[in-house]
Structure 1
Amino acid sequence: MSVPRLLAVSTLGVAAVLAITGCSGAKPAAEAEKPAAQSVTVEDNTGKHTVQTPPKSVVATDNRTFQTLSDWGVELSAAAVSLMPDTVSYKTQKGLVDLGTHREPNLELLVAAKPDLIINGQRYQSFHDEIVKLAPDATVLELDPRDGEPFDSELKRQVTVLGEVFGKQAEAKQLVADFDKAADRAKKAYKSSDTVLAVNTSGGAIGNIAPTVGRTLGPVYDLIGLTPALKVDKSSEGHKGDEISVEAIASANPDWILVMDRDSSFDKAERGADYKPAAEILEKNDALKNVKAVANQHIVYMPTDTYLNEGIQTYTEFLNDFADALEKSKA
């Protein structure tokens, strides 16, 4: 007799519990297990920002961040796809809204993406204030390297902040560690008695990249402690550098030449039929054949997508290539 009674009591108990939980507004299991939205506070070039994580709609315009975001599998609602190199997966992603280049940006498409996070910078930097006005509910992060700050620290700061935003702290630490290791290798292998000339090539012409202020390779002088083979009183920060003749290069006679081929970042149609690779311009020029760097094959080229990338991965790859060449020259 007692067993049926216990069952009856248990049944009533369960019913009561269900009734109570029902009145308390219990949610389905699947919904209950869904993680609650969180936030993280990060600091960029304009101050501190609280970012909801994970962000629901992300827009990216900063070239230096494309590779990192792509490698981390971050889904973008819109981006400056026209400014991406072919080496970044977003370039060929169907359905990704293209905001266009910085020369003719379509900011209406940015608004239509309803972003809650915008990673802006580099070529789009001048549009910051306009973007903030057009998307007042979005957090706009600017992580461009700041003037007066060590360039390597700025590259590391960028990926560290992005790691916090997207929950990729471990991946960000690895990127920083890989970069530091490559830089240390190059520093250790480089002899200060060796002179260095950094140049870029574009449209068949050669431009000198000045130490510190020069585009892309300028900061590498400071990072590795390179001895310049040529000093220019007034130097440019522009993407083409300062005009330099092959005679001036021959006169400087550098031990090493570091090169960024600007045009190699673009596809064949954009390069044009007259495109000449940097190697052809430098290594097949009779006026340069007796330059120590050319004669000894001490020319190191940046990755072909550098001009449209310039992220920490680009520099890590280049510094490892430079270290390889330096170590080989000692063997």
Structure 2
Amino acid sequence: MRKIVFVAVVLMTAAGLAACAGGGTDSEAGTSASPSSLTIQSLNASKSPISLEVPYNPKRLAVLDMASLDILDSLGLGGRVVGSADTSLDYLQQYTGGSTANLGTIKEADLEAVMASEPDVIFIGGRLASAYDALSEIAPVVYLATDPETGVVESVRKNASIIASMFGLESRVEELMAGFDARIKALSAFSSGKTAIVGMSTSGGFNVLGSDGRCSLISREAGFENIGVDAAADTSTHGNEASFEFIVKTNPDYVFVLDRDAAIGTDGAKLARDIVENELVMGTDAYKNGRIIYLSHPAAWYTAEGGITALDRMLADLEGELL
């Protein structure tokens, strides 16, 4: 009898050890003692902060925001994505086609496709704020964004922590964020005392960006003095179309260029270099000193700012040209 009991205990212990050793991040999410739901901080259709109840450890995810998809992918939760928006991001192509439903774009959701995917949770970004209420009729909508005042790095850390908490994976976030603060510090040390204009080439024109939205990482965190903020009051999204005389007049040390057409894959679009490097700009110190920087991963900057892999690529774009 003692022998039988001993064997049973050994078998149970071995089974427990095997369970602990097996499985990836996806299988680690949640436990048998987990709650059925939790409350997180999100945004609503008016982009105001709200408390949102979501299911804990959701199994079916509809993702219409590339920054959120980036974070889910980094957390090893890609197997739960049942539907996604189209994307030109090379590292997220596994979520387009195949068994993953096409839910539209990051600007226009296919509501019927979203409903048919039967999601437990829907993730959106600012471009779909107007569809928030309609999507909320299908499932809870998690709407996260970066905050220029907080900074991109801290926004990514905060949003990744919120998403991770839905699956009991909070401990993974600091591991994924390791090194970003040191990289920002190195860029900030380099940029001290240097001026820049940050702009976006689009549809044959050049729009100057401020420090209140897209590409604010370059000034607010990487430390360049963005003298383009004088171009217009509202530069948070697509910037303000400025004449190239403005660049000549301000004569910055650096010009950073985001190619929007390349980011969204516009067919037949004029190359950013062909737009920017005209006769006027070629007379500036930035051009003469080889300091016009074309951001190498425009899709990350334009469509996935707020993602972990996107942040890595954005910093690499700056480091590769500056450090």
TM-score (norm 1): 0.76
User: Cα deviations across residues 281-322 of structure 1 (Å, max 9, x unaligned)?
Assistant: 334x22212212111112333313232222343333333432
Distance 1:244 1:288 in 2: 13
Paired residue total? 290
User: Whose Rg is larger?
Assistant: 1
- Aligned-pair distance for 1:199? 0.5
Unaligned runs of 5+ in 1: 1-5, 14-28
1:88–1:148: structure 2 CA closer, same or farther, 3 Å change rule? same
Which residue of structure 2 aligns with residue 315 of structure 1? 311
User: Is contact 2:209–2:228 with CA below 8 Å preserved after alignment?
Assistant: no
Which residue of structure 1 aligns with residue 198 of structure 2? 198
Which residue of structure 1 aligns with residue 271 of structure 2? 277
Matches within 5 A, 1:114-133: 114-132=118-136
User: Is contact 2:253–2:291 with CA below 8 Å preserved after alignment?
Assistant: yes
SS of alignment partner, residue 286 of structure 1: coil
Which residue of structure 1 aligns with residue 23 of structure 2? none
User: Is contact 1:63–1:84 with CA below 8 Å preserved after alignment?
Assistant: no
- Aligned-pair distance for 1:49? 4.1
- Aligned-pair distance for 1:197? 0.5
- Aligned-pair distance for 1:164? 2.2
Unaligned runs of 5+ in 2: 6-14, 20-26, 44-48
Equivalent residue letter for 1:206? F
Which residue of structure 1 aligns with residue 185 of structure 2? 184
- Aligned-pair distance for 1:231? 4.2
User: Cα deviations across residues 106-157 of structure 1 (Å, max 9, x unaligned)?
Assistant: 212222222222222221122222222x22xx43222113575444422221
Distance 2:317 2:81 in 1: 32
Distance 2:186 2:219 in 1: 15
Distance 2:182 2:97 in 1: 33
Distance 2:161 2:108 in 1: 31
Equivalent residue letter for 1:292? D
Which residue of structure 2 aligns with residue 294 of structure 1? 287
Which residue of structure 1 aligns with residue 155 of structure 2? 154
1:234–1:287: structure 2 CA closer, same or farther, 3 Å change rule? closer
Equivalent residue letter for 1:304? P
Which residue of structure 2 aligns with residue 64 of structure 1? 67
Please report the RMSD computed on the Cα atoms of aligned residues, expressed in angstroms.
Answer: 3.1
Distance 1:63 1:245 in 2: 32
Matches within 5 A, 1:223-262: 223-232=221-230, 234-237=232-235, 239-262=237-260
TM-score (norm 2): 0.77
Distance 2:172 2:243 in 1: 43
- Aligned-pair distance for 1:101? 2.5
